[in-house]
Amino acid sequence: MEAIDRNAVQQALNRFLQKDAYFHMETSTGSYRALEEPGQIATCAYIRNGVLHFLEGKITGEGPYQVGLKLKNGWLYSQGLTDWELTKDGKLLLGGYDGEGHLNIALQFSFTPFECGA
């Protein structure tokens, strides 16, 4: 992954507009760190292979960035994004990392399901 280029991410988001797409969204306040530091309290949310159809998508901010997606009946919003990648098979991967390299948030889109490990 590399640092977010807001214009490039916006173009990649636009590829998913008004189409059914699989998404992965994960947030954490220390789940990965808790593995390294016993006693660390962690909270997280994890969604894999949800399907959404967004009518509008926009990346905003000066870094860390925010992505807002307008859905038919609501919104999906992610904040704290720092890095991105557009894979060879067309997946858009967005992540937000703290200063120590720990993942705080992930937001990913694909036209095919994401792999689910055991």
Confidence of residue 95 (pLDDT cuts 50, 70, 90): very high
The answer to whether 83 touches 22, Cβ cutoff 8 Å, is: no
Model pLDDT, residue 60: 98
Q: For the chain, which domains are there?
A: 2-110 (2.70.180.10)
Tell me what percent of the residues of the chain surpass a pLDDT of 90: 76
Mean pLDDT computed over 48-65 = 96
Model pLDDT, residue 102: 83
Per the confidence metrics, is the pTM higher than 0.85? yes
Q: How far apart are CA 90 and CA 26, in angstroms?
A: 20
Mean pLDDT computed over 48-75 = 96
Model pLDDT, residue 47: 94
Mean pLDDT computed over 13-17 = 97
Confidence of residue 35 (pLDDT cuts 50, 70, 90): low
Stronger pLDDT, 41 or 46, i.e. the higher one: 46
Look at residues 26, 71, 77 and name the one whose alpha carbon lies nearest to residue 51: 71
Q: What is the 3-state secondary structure (H, E, C) of the chain?
A: CEECCHHHHHHHHHCCCCCEEEEEEEEECCHHHHHHCCCCCCCEEEEEEEEEEEEEEEEECCCCEEEEEEECCEEEEEEEECEEEECCCCCEEEEEECCCCCEEEEEEEECCCCCCCC
State yes or no: pLDDT of 37 exceeds 70: no
